[in-house]
Chain A
């Protein structure tokens, strides 16, 4: 396999346009060397292309769905999409699923530097292969000149079965505790033996991205230190790290300086966080090893597995731009993560007792087609979109309490949020009264003065995080756990950011202002693109046709149970009556006989 070495030309400061034709098709691949299976590729290739741009560049992707049996879409993870919310990609939110045979064009600018990735945002599809790295070069990087080369180091877990099959067994009454499917392998750069040819004494910039859909991975370089300089597209001050924990969808940019000695090659290890697996399947190798190749004639040493993991704490990172804490919170909302069963016996995920369900009309299309006076009424988007409206320009705070025993990597579309609090595991809910100055001008010492900003944050089991961001990006943005299994069972909310500004931005034509191919995809797939969540354009507050989840489980006896219990009790009493009658015949015998 060719090393994924990327050498970037410097000095390209003029914004350019990168145009791609992506034919999305099924191809066959065997990335873990264990099992050959159909995967979703682009232009007959898998792994799919790496997209490289420079800050300010425009990207135009003509996506042609040639899968034949599945719809698709593309989301560009971490990009703000300011002014282009319709290019964000999640189906049912900012666009319709692109049905087989249809095409759609994504057109947006990459105004942020750093490490990103792109993936399908439709039906939990991307673990079947439709995900790839997306790097944006920054000519004005604060770390410019510290390195002589760059590498992409992607990790992910890998399944042998395809997602629709896995989803069928995952979302079933026979999986009442919602046990996530166990992966069969860990991949590094989509293979088992990634190699990184290096020169002694040089420093390299590794773009580490977890393109997985479920487990976090521990990443370390044997015999080398990492210096973190970027987190989710935000430049940070250098911070030394030996072991990183990268959740699904998180990215880190790290500098690694090579030894001045070519006598040995060194393993790079990525190890699945087995705590996230309900049970570790026998035969699963949680580790995948790549190599720093100092000398290709030398052997590849066996990596040393770790038993104890003590990863770098990303909460301590400081953004290079020095952006201080948003200390005037205008709008605070609390979301509680709960997993529970509904009346159909399946396990669902809930934010504040509401499980997310896609509606008949994508939320953005509802917003653009509704009467102006109703767009701030969350009812029209459907109760189960978990819609939260925030006003233009306000500082929004999300208090996320995890009532579940699992780790949940939450991702907010189109924003980097400040992580102002992250509790330990088992710390319980965030208690605002216990922390001073939440809404006062002076931030309490407990809060970092310059908080780490990123777009995906691990919420500890039975713990909490507090996130803040400025609502400066009108659009319809998902806030969700990036574990695909949990997304499918509803661990999502919709942030409707500055709805009036968004309508003003798109003009008086409303939904018709969107690209014609986006609407054509809706028509081709039979998806409504006007109306409220239930598709009603006459009575906007009539949500009777909206999508709703099954009823909750009954708490106690239902009519059926009462009838059954009464029958059983009556049967028992009749039975005892029969016994007594038979036994009473003995009295007669006594008089005659004894």
Chain B
């Protein structure tokens, strides 16, 4: 039985990491601003608890939503769809490949994740501060102010969590339900651990090495899923040509289209029935197939070329401030999710950011929240 889905592990890991960073930023902010020995410990504890309660309740909600959604997917009984199975499997593989490919980038930029959330949270807090200075104060607004430290993580985590649920749903469509719990739990634990390490500060270098290795594995999986998508589509076409007859052939002659075959070895098949358990893991992580077609080989290589071009372009943009082959001015559009830093020369935003390092900067913004 297939019990560990690598994409699901990474998705949960990444979303947990992101949630962890949000919580860490908020906690640091509280600690720095009102958690000192000369501050009010009651308010500090209250606000800190708000953060935890907001995060926790949000997580609970997401978990419930996730279970419900995935349960609904499986109740559709995808395996009962016959020959169109391969079309679905192909679409799911493609979806999973795209999801983890896009998500993977952020994993390498923990500092940017932190940066992003600092900005977002600061903006959110600034909004509250502005509303509090308004003359027209409604009860709702006051409620919001009073429970900002609950609402902020609650809403943010809920958003991230639902995103994770949708992504997990997306990549798990082609998988048995048994493949979800184990990677979800381990991903959650790994994400919490890493968030804690980041929160504690300390040496980020080993963490970054770990993230680089993880991302490499993630993209290996992504490449494998991408090529499997092509394999599924080709399998559908081949079954159509043979009248569904090739499924009888197992992994031997006849199971593949000889005219599009690049290699076919009569061993190392991925079917567990034929003793290919080990090869099935190889297939899940690296996209290995004992029967490769022009389509699967070309798609595999194209995926990596796209990855190479994509990452080099990102690096170029970070260093030069604009995309390769584009004029500098045209490049300063803000991509909201894959946040790249602004041009070094650009002035910082006027709002003061709460950072983990700040110790004594008590701006109007932060005071307003604390009050």
Residues of chain A having any CB pair with chain B under 8 Å: 173-177, 179, 278, 340-341, 343-345, 347, 553-558, 560-562, 564-565, 567-568, 571-572, 574-576, 578-587, 589-590, 593-594
Contacts and interface: CB of A to CB of B under 8 A. Distances in A.
Contacts of A578: 307-308, 311-312
B265 A579 contact: no
Interface stretch (B28-36, B78-86, B246-254): B246-254
A556 B245 contact: no
Contacts of A344: 258
A345 B257 contact: yes
Given A345-B259, A555-B266, A594-B111, 12 more contacts: A177-B248, A553-B258, A556-B263, A562-B263, A575-B223, A575-B303, A575-B308, A579-B311, A580-B216, A581-B312, A582-B312, A586-B211
Contacts of B255: 176
B245 A278 contact: yes
Contact of B219 (A177, A558, A575): A575
B253 A553 contact: yes
5 contacts: A176-B245, A177-B246, A278-B245, A572-B220, A581-B315
A179 B243 CA distance: 10
- Point out which of A345, A560, A579, A580 has the most chain B C-beta atoms below 10 A from its C-beta: A579
Given A568-B297, A593-B111, A582 B314 contact: yes
A395 to B, nearest CB: 39
A347 to B, nearest CB: 7
A211 B302 CA distance: 57
Interface in B285-333: 286, 292, 297, 300-301, 303-305, 307-308, 311-312, 314-315, 318-319
A176 B297 contact: no
Contact of B216 (A340, A556, A579, A585): A579
Q: What 9 A-B pairs have minimum CB-CB distances, sorted nearest first?
A: A561-B263, A176-B254, A345-B258, A341-B253, A583-B212, A575-B304, A571-B304, A583-B108, A582-B311
Interface residues of B, number: 51
Given A567-B297, A568-B300, A589-B111, A579 B215 contact: yes
B155 interface: no
B84 to A, nearest CB: 19
A268 to B, nearest CB: 34
Contact of A571 (B204, B305, B311, B356): B305
Given A345-B258, A583-B211, A590-B204, A176 B312 contact: no
Interface of B: 108-111, 201, 204-205, 208, 211-212, 215-216, 219-220, 223, 241-243, 245-246, 248-249, 253-255, 257-259, 262-266, 286, 292, 297, 300-301, 303-305, 307-308, 311-312, 314-315, 318-319, 356-357
A177 to B, nearest CB: 5
A159 B143 CA distance: 82
Contact of B307 (A561, A579, A589, A594): A579
A579 B214 CA distance: 10
Given A177-B245, A561-B292, A587-B205, A571 B212 contact: no
B305 to A, nearest CB: 7
Nearest to A593: B111
Given A177-B248, A574-B304, A347 B315 contact: no
Given A176-B253, A347-B254, A584-B212, A579 B219 contact: yes
B292 A173 contact: no
Contacts of A574: 304, 308
B338 to A, nearest CB: 12
A576 B248 contact: no
A561 B307 CA distance: 23
Contact of A560 (B219, B242, B263): B263
Given A347-B254, A564-B262, A580-B216, A179 B245 contact: yes
Contacts of A594: 111, 201, 204, 356-357
A579 B315 CA distance: 10
A568 B259 CA distance: 20
A278 B255 CA distance: 16
Identify the interface centre among A177, A344, A565, A581: most chain B CB within 10 Å of its CB: A177
B111 A590 contact: yes
Contacts of A567: 297, 301
B318 to A, nearest CB: 7
Contact of A340 (B108, B201, B212, B253): B253
A584 B204 CA distance: 12
Contacts of A575: 219, 223, 303-305, 307-308
Contact of A586 (B208, B223, B248, B265): B208
A584 B318 CA distance: 13
Contacts of A590: 111, 204-205, 208
A374 B154 CA distance: 95
Nearest to B115: A593
Contacts of A278: 245
Contacts of A179: 243, 245
A562 B297 CA distance: 11
B226 to A, nearest CB: 12
Contacts of B258: 173, 176, 341, 343-345, 553
A424 B224 CA distance: 48
Contacts of B315: 581-582, 585
A578 B108 CA distance: 12
B301 A571 contact: yes
B288 to A, nearest CB: 10
Contacts of B211: 583, 586
Given A345-B257, A571-B304, A582-B108, A175 B212 contact: no
B304 A176 contact: no
B196 to A, nearest CB: 15
A371 B314 CA distance: 79
A586 B242 contact: no
Q: Which of A175, A347, A553, A576 counts the most chain B CB atoms within 10 A?
A: A576
B157 to A, nearest CB: 23
B262 A576 contact: no
B172 to A, nearest CB: 24
A175 B262 contact: no
B111 A564 contact: no
A380 B108 CA distance: 71
Nearest to A556: B265
A558 B264 CA distance: 9
A556 B268 CA distance: 11
A327 to B, nearest CB: 42
B48 to A, nearest CB: 23
Contacts of B242: 174-177
Nearest to B109: A586
A188 to B, nearest CB: 29
A582 B253 CA distance: 43
B25 to A, nearest CB: 13
A461 to B, nearest CB: 16
Nearest to A589: B111
B204 to A, nearest CB: 5
B108 A175 contact: no
B263 A558 contact: yes
Contacts of A589: 111
A176 B254 CA distance: 4
A55 B332 CA distance: 102
Contacts of B297: 564, 567-568
Contacts of B215: 579, 583
Contacts of B243: 179
A177 B253 CA distance: 8
Contacts of B312: 578, 581-582
Contact of B246 (A176, A558, A571): A176
Nearest to A343: B258
Given A557-B265, A571-B300, A579 B245 contact: no
